[in-house]
Amino acid sequence: MLSQAENALLTRVTGDAPMGAMFRRFWLPVVLSEELEADGAPADLRILGDDLVAFRDTNGRVGVLDAGCPHRLASFVLGRNEECGIRCIYHGWKFDVDGNCVDMPTEPDDRGFKDRVKARAYPVRESAGMVWAYLGPREHEPPFPEFPWTRYPADQVAVAKSGYRTNYLQAVEGAIDSAHSWFLHRGGNVSRDWATRTAVSMDLSPRLEAEDTAYGFRYAAIRKPNQNPDTEKYVRVTLYVMPSTAFIPRSLDKNTEVHGQIFVPVDDEHTMFY
């Protein structure tokens, strides 16, 4: 059982919390690609307690910036996404996806002031139907995660997201908990897999074996099968990849999809599930 201090250390991600600093050292999905249209409405984001904005410019490039305009902190979420930049509606200052000020109509051009002002922009990649951003120090930017499914054709990837009213760790624990699925997932969209699994084993108390890895850990949930329980084992292996990704074992009904779950902290008490 964790102490209150240990629980706070693991679950607090906002401000200068150590776990927030850790999350910022990884590439994180922040919005679905389909949510951003060229010159369309900006997307209002909140990641690790920070307010951000995402937009797709006229040429299809995606930018992720701090939500507040560097002039008077008016929100870019209310801005106009037009002609390869997002324009603040307060004074019309306009910034491109790299945070460069490309137009400053309220200041004379000959003073060069717009060349000295920059919005905070973050490195961005699009992959597997998601926009990913790196929110940490530039000098510590890691390689982009090259999971096999990040290179699949678009018609071989299905992605969705939903919000959780819980901290990220509670969400991750549910994803990597093999024991609960024999109770919680008895119906609904996974009923076919449920019937297949229970035909193999009705062992409700699996024995767990874990192995630390360079990327996180993997563990085996080992159950007694319905047939030949003394000589055979039914094993389901779950992968946990830092900081908050789980790869769920494939179903047994010849379905070959790779099922990944990524949990991105919105703040200390809310999580976005991809």
The 3-class SS string of 181-198 reads HHHHCCCHHHHHHHHHHH
In eight-state DSSP terms, residue 157 is: -
Residue-averaged pLDDT of the chain: 92
The more confident residue out of 195 and 221 is 221
Q: Tell if the pTM clears 0.75, that is, is over it.
A: yes
Which residue's structure tokens are 């991105």? Answer: 264
Tokens of 224: 């007694």
Label residues 17-30 b or e (16+ Cβ within 10 Å = b).
bebbeebbebbbbb
User: What type of residue is 134?
Assistant: Y
Answer left, alpha or beta for residue 196, where phi above 0 means left and psi between -120 and 50 means alpha: alpha
Q: Tens of pLDDT along 38-56?
A: 999 999 999 999 999 999 9
